Structure 1
Amino acid sequence: MSTLHGLAAPGGHYRHAMRAGDLVFVSGQLPIASDGTRLSDRNFETQARQALANVAAALASAGTGIDALVQVRVYITDINDWPAFDRIYAGWAGAVRPARAVVPVPALHYGFRIEIEAVASVVLLPD
């Protein structure tokens, strides 16, 4: 079952995004499709694109977007996937260049290969 903005319901006791003052904190987003399908059997590129799409959807649900990103933290289970991630991320983020860390980890939930969390400012849209 999907929720607002194309995100599957959270799998635990958390929100996808939480606003605190002028900042939005996005919980770690995994490669889970909006219908709840876990993409752990897909290749790294597919998983990365889905996790980034989920970050964008979580930002939208909190009234902000990719252009307001301040910081992004990425966890990957194979450091050899770093170049592929950087290429996919550059296409996704475009001209936006927030602070970023890519951290190799031994394992992620459900056998996923990537998880992404982020912080963004609240975008004030013109009337």
Structure 2
Amino acid sequence: MTRRLISSGSPFEQDIGYSRAVVQGEWVFVSGTTGFDYATMAIADDVAAQARQALHNIQAALAEAGASLADVVRVRYLLPRAEDFPATWPVLQEFLGGVRPAATMMQVGLADPRMKIEIEVTALRQR
């Protein structure tokens, strides 16, 4: 089984030494993804806007892997402030409400104080 690495072009991937996503067989593992716009390396102040951008970044990685959000079976939401999570729910519902993957939310410290949410997904490509 061939392993394929996917990069978004984010400098974090090169600096830290990881891939945006790894494809192994029909599985796609997308690394924790934040709300940075990788083209400009800008990030919004609003947690919901960051969630939206993170999901767009995840969609791009999944598309490159031949998958989509419909293939997501597991999602983890990481937030420095648990009380910010409800503000993201409308965005999460918009992107994943029809998929309803298994989910976990954890309150954690993130690498950059501008980051208000990080999202990690696992997908199983449907063939």
**Could you list the per-position Cα deviations for residues 19-66 of structure 1 after superposition, in whole angstroms to 9, with x for gaps in the alignment?**
112210001101110314141x51111111111111111111111000
The aligned counterpart of 1:109 is 111
SS of 1:67's partner is helix
CA RMSD of aligned residues (A): 1.9
Distance in 2 separating the partners of 1:78 and 1:53: 22
Identity of aligned residues (%): 34
For structure 2, list consecutive stretches of 5 or more residues without a partner in the other structure. 1-5
The aligned counterpart of 1:80 is 83
TM-score by length of 2: 0.83
Contact 1:8 1:32 in 2 (8 A): no
The aligned counterpart of 2:68 is 65
Provide the aligned length of Structure 1 versus Structure 2: 118
The aligned counterpart of 1:9 is 10
1:18 corresponds to 2:22: yes
- Choose from 34, 41, 50 the match for 2:38: 34
For 1:22, the aligned partner's letter is E
TM-score by length of 1: 0.83
For 1:99, the aligned partner's letter is A
For 2:55, the aligned partner's letter is L
For 1:78, the aligned partner's letter is R
Pair 52,26 (structure 1): closer, same or farther in 2 beyond 3 Å: same
SS of 2:75's partner is strand
Contact 1:16 1:58 in 2 (8 A): yes
Distance in 1 separating the partners of 2:40 and 2:120: 18
SS of 1:110's partner is coil
SS of 1:109's partner is coil
The aligned counterpart of 2:57 is 54
Contact 1:10 1:16 in 2 (8 A): no
